[in-house]
Amino acid sequence: MTVWEMIGTKLLAASAVTAIVGANVFHGDKPAGLGLPTVNYFEVSNGLVGQGVVEIAHYQISCRAETPGGAQDLAHAVAVVFHNMKETVSTFDVNAGSVLDKFLMKEPDTDTYHVPVDIRLAFDASENT
């Protein structure tokens, strides 16, 4: 299992998240024309430490909704999933997950609200295959 598959699996298994977005969880860009709320996520950076044995992946999980409160509620549900995470998702062992930051933005072009949740995950590089 790859790290992006693990994140998607974890989000779709989180009832607090799916209660808001249903199955609208996407890796990469948000599909054009899709209604809100949605979650899409992508890798921001990825580095190897410990002589290449341990991988540190940073992901942005974009939470979008039509109202600021809706976006914040969704982002909070997502943040709770990953903060202080230490668990096995399917077969993927995550040894330390943490939420680095999240903040509310208004996207004026579409008059919608966006909270990017930045997370960091540490795991053995051998997991990410």
Partner 1 sequence: MPHYQTSIQHANSLLQGGWKMEVGASAGNLVASGTNIGIGNMVSFTENITQFTTQAGNATDPLQGVAQHTVTIEFECLEFWPPVFDEIRGENLDTENEATAGTYVAGTANIISTGGLTEITNKAFRFTNSKLVSAATVETVIIVYKAYAQTGLSFSGKSDNDEDPVMVIPFTIIGKLDTARTAGDQLFIIEAEGGA
What is d(CA 36, CA 69) in angstroms, rounded to the nearest whole number?
A: 13
Binding mask 17-56 for partner 1 (x = CB under 8 A): ---------------------------------xxxxx--
Which residue lies nearer to partner 1 by CB, 34 or 53? 53
Nearest-approach distance from CB 48 to partner 1, in angstroms: 10
- If one asks whether residue 84 binds partner 1 (CB under 8 A), the answer comes out as no
In the set 5, 66, 73, 124, which binds partner 1 (CB under 8 A)?
Answer: 124
Q: How does DSSP assign 26-83, residue by residue? A: EESSPPTTPPSSEEEEEEEEEEEETTTTEEEEEEEEEEEESSHHHHHHHHHHHHHHHT
Site track 91-110 with partner 1 (rule: CB under 8 A), x = hit:
x-xxxx--------------
Residue 7 per-residue DSSP state? H
- Give the phi and the psi of residue 123 in degrees, each rounded to 5: -160, 165
Give the footprint of partner 1 on this chain (CB under 8 A). Answer: 50-54, 86-88, 91, 93-96, 122, 124, 126
